[in-house]
Amino acid sequence: MKKATAVISVILMLCCILTACSSEGKLIGKWTFSEDDIEMSFIFNEDGTGEVFALGGLLTIKFTYEVNKNTITFHEESQEILGSHPYTFTIKGDDLSLTAGGDVMVLTKEK
């Protein structure tokens, strides 16, 4: 019985780890947001770094990020644009939804 419980525990831990890794892996790449006159691009790199481009490329923000299950936390020097609070994210197909403070931003993955 103890052996079966240990095996089930290991399987559950592996599932949790693989789920977190697959969410982060799906995040890698370039995502764009466009609404009214606002256009932004987010680039997520495998090494936990990224950039945001806005205002036709006039504004570039370099950041690092951490993913924990379905939460992403951005770290950038000024903390004025992205903030340091965690965003909840979901990926469905080519859509990435970032939610913070009740606001939702949906980005589309570029291929």
Q: What is the mean pLDDT of residues 38-54?
A: 93
- The ranges assigned to domains in the chain are 2-109
Question: Do the strands 49-54 and 38-44 form a parallel or antiparallel pair, or are they unpaired?
Answer: antiparallel
Q: Is residue 5 scored above 50 in pLDDT?
A: no
Cβ atoms of 87 and 73 within 8 Å: the answer is: yes
Q: What is the mean pLDDT of residues 20-49?
A: 85
Report the CATH fold assignment for 2-109: Lipocalin (2.40.128)
- The predicted pLDDT at position 23 comes to 58
Q: Hunting for tokens 């495998």 — which residue is that?
A: 46
Closest by CA to 97, choosing from 88, 109, 106, is 106
- The predicted pLDDT at position 76 comes to 85
pLDDT band at 24 (very low <50, low <70, confident <90, very high): low
Higher pLDDT, 17 or 65: 65
Cβ atoms of 41 and 30 within 8 Å: the answer is: yes
Higher pLDDT, 55 or 92: 92
Higher pLDDT, 75 or 16: 75
Q: Is residue 8 scored above 60 in pLDDT?
A: no
